[in-house]
Amino acid sequence: MDEDKPLKKMAEAFKELSIRLDQFPEGEEARLELSPFSNACSLVSPLFRCLGIAFKFAELDYVAKVNDLAGASKSISVLPLMMDDDVKSDCVRKPGSHTRNLLRVKRGIDMVKVLFEHIISIQGNSLKDPASKAYSQVFAPYHGWAIRKAVAAGMYALPTKAQLLNKLNEDETSARIQMQNFVASAALVVKYIDQLFISRGLGTDW
């Protein structure tokens, strides 16, 4: 049953987001709706849970930020409008701002995308190498020594790939397909969010 397949659900939700983005003419800023975006992001949360203690920090932070965006979606229709409101209010970089939370959520999506890329590309049952590379690439530059050290220690408690697939109710073949689908769609979503920040002169390196 689909409700028992979190990997499939997140892959399909991000595919839907990528289709929405494709509907806007080239050269025009896509106005991606906040409600389906935050809903798709919420479907990624179970994956962080499945990875265990190493990514507990990511799960807690990610869930809180996604919940904030879901709350904002009740009064704000699209992502560009949300960011422009924060720019006008001069609160973009303040803790708790929707735009700052969006950047953190984007990083969570990117981490999962990179993790899947590494899982797809390697043989073997250990997730330590893919998870370490994904963390180093996406999160480590923004974390202090204490968090980096805690994550490194937690890497030894990661599930094996077989255990992860079992938790996600997938076999090797179906998981590879869903991971590839997520990687392709998430890449478009991450690129879109990066462009929103860059086009407003906000950058993404903070």
At a CB cut-off of 8 Å and minimum separation 6, what does 21 contact?
Answer: 30, 32, 188, 189, 192
Q: What is the pTM of this model?
A: 0.95
Of the pLDDT bands very low, low, confident and very high (cuts 50, 70, 90), residue 179 is: very high
Q: Which residues pair with 78 in a beta bridge?
A: 33
Render pLDDT for 13-60 as a digit per residue (tens, 0 to 9). 999 999 999 999 988 999 999 999 999 999 999 999 999 888 888 899
Instruction: Give start and end residues of each alpha helix (H) in the chain.
Output: 6-22, 34-42, 45-51, 56-72, 79-88, 98-121, 128-138, 145-154, 161-167, 172-199
Residue 3 confidence (pLDDT): 52
> Which CATH number among 3.60.15.10, 3.40.50.620, 3.40.50.720, 1.10.3520.10 corresponds to the domain 2-199?
1.10.3520.10
The distance between the two most distant Cα atoms of the chain, rounded to a whole number of Å, is: 50
What is the arithmetic mean of pLDDT over 160-189? Answer: 96
User: What percentage of residues in the chain have a pLDDT greater than 70?
Assistant: 99
